[in-house]
Chain A
Amino acid sequence: MPVRGDTLYAAILRSPHPHAEILSIDASKALARPGVAAVLTGPEVKAMTEPFIVGVKAPIDDWALAVDRVRYVGEPVAVIVAGDRYQAEDALDAIEVEYRPLPIELDPRTAARPDATLLHPACKSNIVHDRTFRYGDPESAFANAPHRIKLEVEYPRVLCAPMEGYIVVADHNAAEDSFDVIANFQGPFSVLTVVPRALRVAGNKFRLRTPPNSGGSFGSKLAIFPYMVLICIAAKKTGRPVKWVEDRLEHLAASGSGPHRITNIEAAVAKDGEILALNCDHLEEYGALLRAPMPGPLYRMHGVTTGTYGIRHLAIRNRIVLTNKAPVSLVRGFGGPQIYFALERLVQRIAVELKLEPLAVMRRNLIPANAFPYRTAAGALLDSGDFQNAIATAIDEGGLGELQHRREEARKAGRLYGIGFACASEPGVSNMGYLSTLLPLEARRKAGPKDGAIGTATVAVDGNGQVTVASDSTPQGQGHRTVLAQIVADELGLTPNDIAVNVELDTSKDAWSIAAGNYASRFAASTANAAYLAAGRIRKKLAAIAALSLGVSSESLTFKGGKICSLTDPTKTLPLYRVAGMAHWSPGSLPDDITPGLRETVQWNPRELTPPTENDEINTSLTYGFIFDFCGVEIDRITGEVRIDKYVTMHDGGRLLNPALVESQVHGALGQAFGATLYENFAYGADGNLLTSTFADYLLPTAMEIPPTQLLYQETPSPFTPLGTKGVGEGNSMTTPACIGNAVADALGIRDVPLPITPVRIAALLHGEELPPPAKFTSAPSSTTAATVERRHDSLMQRLFSKREQL
């Protein structure tokens, strides 16, 4: 990112304490260090900015950096601005901060207790949101059901960790008191509105430009916005542009992971496995602050709490608890992994307890193919699908029979082998009104309706017939430019190479709306449709101009090979560039009903995204794809390591615009999901320190950990999008942990599967907790000790397997 020659560089001092009062900060020695231009600390930030607004009604004190108190390890405490990054980092050591440590809360359960240490004393509790929902008549369904089956599941914090960190370059124009920022922000742009507010300027005095390329995000680069505020203030203070690049240690400590959710899920079940009612009690931990758009994960999936199943009676309780951990941010899947790990694990449990096949329970409850569009109990309007057919195809083409055979053989040989299944409804394009479901009805009425999701794209043709496309989707490697070129080329009879696509976004002059950005799998089902509609308008206009000069009707014209030609008379043809030229060079000769120039911006909004109803029903997303996964796993009896023998995933993502790009997205999501399920653990020690602060501690999967996978597709177009597309790309973040979890449960005959499923945890199940080392190495290890250990293992193995028999 090229910057002006006089640019300064920022480094951030971060809290070493999980919870402490800041008694004093002395930056005088730091200011004296070579190259240092300025230091920003809490009091100044408090004087120059406003705190961030919070999504729930709770007095949470949230500033761009710590004011008076730190609440998690890694929280920004001061910013140093210097001639280069080396100098800025050198001077961090010279800032003297006096802290008074406070008691900490790390565990969501204990933080939720009334006697817990308060993160924000003004809130009077660490539970900052508690709301219940009821659809149908769950109480009677539970009272009358032949079976009640429940599970408590936990989905821990995981991180998406894009390879490139956050980057902010900010400049301040003192004459106009306006800010100009370049940052690899990913949206949703609705969140961006909080930044000028915090900077105390009008929205039109804050300009954000996004770069042409960004090194991955997966949700992560939403949480860059507090840093925009910090770096803007640093630029204002120094009167020079300031650049800050987040390093890996900062990213791991403070960029924010997904939330930690504890769900108590219970189903009322008929003898044949039909789920008559569902009760979900979620306690979700968000760290020290609740930053926009939190608590998104708790509500994004609200409409599809019942997944792919036709469950009509539903009760939900949503609670949010704060702890002394880094504030939660966006991650791939956003709420989906948590919902489906609970629901799909429960389906497996129902099968075990009722002695049914997991697939039979799944099939018994699936929404029938002729029921679409289908309104779920909580209000989602599932657009289309044929779940039964997708499952049948996957079983057949994915070779379930072969895996079952392998399981049989393995078990005969005394090995631990299991098969797991999971399915999910994968949301695409979030309803901008879904988060208002968290407000009680009266509060919603007062705030006014929130709904919809506007997708924006512009197609322009210049006087020489050259086509340019711009969009609001700020991609980070998903190939949006390729797809936009393809869509527009198809409409205008050109080749993708003829189309120039620019996906940088400049909020001061490009077309965008609050739903802009690259999140919630919105590109294919939103932005791509806006581009398609904009290209359609251009086509119509060109056809009308060509029709006039060719003396034919515009309906009889087709676009092919850079020409506009009559379908009936091959002599009537004009090159596209000639027609485009007329629109620019001779606007006076255009018919009255045609506007001059050739630039069309479409802001497309789907009507299906309505606000929450009086009964709290909400259509959380526009499109709902279907995913069905199964896998075979083998567990090493000695090490407890889980090896995925084969993983099969079937996706119905509506009409696929570019199958190769979809395939890339599925592989990418799978890679991240294997990590989340088996390796990644965003761990804090009992003292509140982050244990996984480097890539050597936070274990991301490498090429060595990727098992054999098979990808399958079905295409059921969405009736709600002009192109028939749905959102794709997040799905396996949602299904894979549940699918592997179910396979491990099947292999070991266990009820609860802890995430991540590490060898240590499985070995503890297989062999019991590790024994303490012998008291003194000097005392020779007696044979009796070894024998005791072995006996202990044997009895544990017996326990484990007698447990399997009992089931």
Chain B
Amino acid sequence: MPILKAGERHTVTLTLNGRPATGYAESRTLLSDFIRHELGATGTHVGCEHGVCGACTVRVDGKAVRSCLTLAVQAAGCQVETVEGLAPRGTLSILQEAFKRHHAVQCGYCTPGILMSLTHYLETNPEATEMQLREVIGGHLCRCTGYTQIVAAAVDVATRLREAARKP
């Protein structure tokens, strides 16, 4: 394990949405700041910087994590996925499509985080029930939508996944 000194800048290399990315970080630099300011991927949003709102959620080695509670140096060498990587440029993932269909986005500030959490959850629990999805969304704050349409979009995707799994 490398020894890091406070106040010094370190090179951090990680895989961002499948491509290697390198930038400078102090040992205290938050992963959220590193992704946004150093790597320029501003799709990840910051709503509280104290771990409650979920806006900053990204995936590190497959798991949904709060990037505001993670240090950039902790993610060195990891696979980091952000909202920009959910679907190839110009296309939408099935979850993003469902958000569009159900008007689950207003200002879009909370959306990237919710998409990352739901993507992770649905990948591991394709048979998720409405209650389970509500709980996952319950880990995020949205001030615009009142959540109803977000829940509807998530349930829609779960239903499609379930149906797809049933097809021979």
Q: Which residues of A contact B (CB under 8 A)?
A: 86, 160-164, 213-216, 218, 247-249, 476-479, 660-661, 663-664, 667-672, 674, 694-696, 700, 702-704, 706, 709
Residues of A within 8 A of B28 (CB): 86
Closest to B140 in A: A702
Complex partner residue of A703 from B53, B107, B150, CB under 8 angstroms: B150
- Asked if A86 and B143 make an inter-chain contact with CB atoms under 8 angstroms apart, the answer reads no
**Contact residues of B between 5 and 54, Cβ < 8 Å to A:** 26, 28-29, 45, 47-50, 52-53
Residues of A within 8 A of B141 (CB): 163, 695, 700, 702
Extra contacts besides A161-B143, A248-B48, A477-B108 (13): CB < 8 Å: A163-B55, A163-B143, A213-B107, A215-B107, A664-B145, A667-B147, A668-B106, A671-B145, A672-B143, A695-B48, A702-B147, A703-B135, A706-B147
Residues of A within 8 A of B143 (CB): 160-163, 216, 218, 668, 671-672, 700
If A213-B108, A218-B143 touch, whether A663 touches B103 (CB-CB below 8 Å) is: yes
- Asked if B50 and A163 make an inter-chain contact with CB atoms under 8 angstroms apart, the answer reads no
Complex partner residue of A702 from B47, B108, B138, CB under 8 angstroms: B138
- Asked if B134 and A704 make an inter-chain contact with CB atoms under 8 angstroms apart, the answer reads yes
- Asked if B145 and A215 make an inter-chain contact with CB atoms under 8 angstroms apart, the answer reads no
Complex partner residue of A215 from B48, B109, B139, B147, CB under 8 angstroms: B109
Closest to B137 in A: A703
- Asked if B151 and A703 make an inter-chain contact with CB atoms under 8 angstroms apart, the answer reads yes
Show 27 residue pairs from A and B whose CB-CB distance is below 8 angstroms, ordered by the A residue: A163-B47, A163-B53, A164-B107, A164-B109, A216-B106, A216-B144, A247-B49, A248-B47, A477-B106, A477-B109, A478-B106, A479-B106, A664-B103, A664-B149, A670-B146, A671-B145, A671-B147, A695-B52, A695-B53, A695-B141, A702-B138, A702-B139, A703-B134, A703-B137, A704-B134, A704-B138, A706-B148
Q: Which residues of B contact A (CB under 8 A)?
A: 26, 28-29, 45, 47-50, 52-53, 55, 103, 105-110, 134-135, 137-151
Most buried by A among B45, B52, B53, B55: B52
> How far, in whole Å, are A669 and B148 apart by their CA atoms in the complex?
12
Residues of A within 8 A of B26 (CB): 86
Closest to B146 in A: A671
Interchain nearest-CB distance for B31 vs A (Å)? 14
- Asked if B107 and A162 make an inter-chain contact with CB atoms under 8 angstroms apart, the answer reads yes
- Asked if A477 and B134 make an inter-chain contact with CB atoms under 8 angstroms apart, the answer reads no
Residues of B within 8 A of A218 (CB): 143
> How far, in whole Å, are A660 and B100 apart by their CA atoms in the complex?
12
Complex partner residue of B103 from A476, A661, A700, A702, CB under 8 angstroms: A661
> How far, in whole Å, are A612 and B150 apart by their CA atoms in the complex?
44
Interchain nearest-CB distance for A669 vs B (Å)? 7
Residues of B within 8 A of A704 (CB): 134-135, 138
Complex partner residue of A696 from B52, B103, B109, B144, CB under 8 angstroms: B52
Residues of A within 8 A of B139 (CB): 702
> How far, in whole Å, are A478 and B106 apart by their CA atoms in the complex?
6
Complex partner residue of B107 from A163, A247, A249, A667, CB under 8 angstroms: A163
Closest to A248 in B: B48
Residues of B within 8 A of A664 (CB): 103, 106, 144-145, 149
> How far, in whole Å, are A160 and B144 apart by their CA atoms in the complex?
10
> How far, in whole Å, are A669 and B29 apart by their CA atoms in the complex?
37
- Asked if A215 and B146 make an inter-chain contact with CB atoms under 8 angstroms apart, the answer reads no
Residues of B within 8 A of A249 (CB): 50
- Asked if B52 and A694 make an inter-chain contact with CB atoms under 8 angstroms apart, the answer reads yes
Closest to B150 in A: A703
Interchain nearest-CB distance for B57 vs A (Å)? 13
- Asked if A706 and B144 make an inter-chain contact with CB atoms under 8 angstroms apart, the answer reads no
- Asked if A164 and B106 make an inter-chain contact with CB atoms under 8 angstroms apart, the answer reads no
- Asked if B147 and A703 make an inter-chain contact with CB atoms under 8 angstroms apart, the answer reads yes
Closest to B136 in A: A703
> How far, in whole Å, are A670 and B142 apart by their CA atoms in the complex?
13
Residues of B within 8 A of A476 (CB): 107
Closest 7 CB pairs of A and B: A671-B146, A477-B107, A215-B109, A477-B106, A695-B52, A667-B146, A703-B137
Residues of A within 8 A of B103 (CB): 660-661, 663-664
Closest to B68 in A: A248
Interchain nearest-CB distance for A776 vs B (Å)? 37
Closest to A708 in B: B148
Interchain nearest-CB distance for A6 vs B (Å)? 15
Residues of A within 8 A of B55 (CB): 163
Most buried by B among A664, A669, A700: A664
Residues of A within 8 A of B53 (CB): 163, 248, 695
Interchain nearest-CB distance for A676 vs B (Å)? 12
Interchain nearest-CB distance for A773 vs B (Å)? 29
- Asked if A667 and B148 make an inter-chain contact with CB atoms under 8 angstroms apart, the answer reads yes
Residues of A within 8 A of B50 (CB): 248-249, 694-696
Complex partner residue of B47 from A164, A477, A479, A703, CB under 8 angstroms: A164
Closest to B28 in A: A86
